[in-house]
Amino acid sequence: MATQQRTIDFLLGQATRAGVVAAKPMFGEYGVYVDGKMIGSVCDDQLFVKPTVSGRAHAEPVSDSPPYPGAKPQMLIAADRWDDAEWLSELLRLTAAELPTPKPRKPKPVGST
Query: What is the number of structural domains in the chain?
Result: 1
pLDDT higher than threshold 70 for residue 1: no
Find the DSSP H helices in the chain: 5-14, 53-59, 85-98
Chain segment 3-37, per-residue pLDDT in tens? 999 999 999 999 999 999 999 999 889 999 999 99
Q: What is the pTM of this model?
A: 0.89
What CATH number does residue 61 fall under? 3.30.1460.30
For residue 22, being part of any structural domain is answered with yes
Find the domain containing 53 and state its range: 5-98
The DSSP bridge partners found for residue 63 are 76
Whole-number Å distance between alpha carbons of 21 and 30: 12
Chain segment 39-89, per-residue pLDDT in tens? 999 999 999 999 999 999 999 999 999 999 999 999 999 999 999 999 999
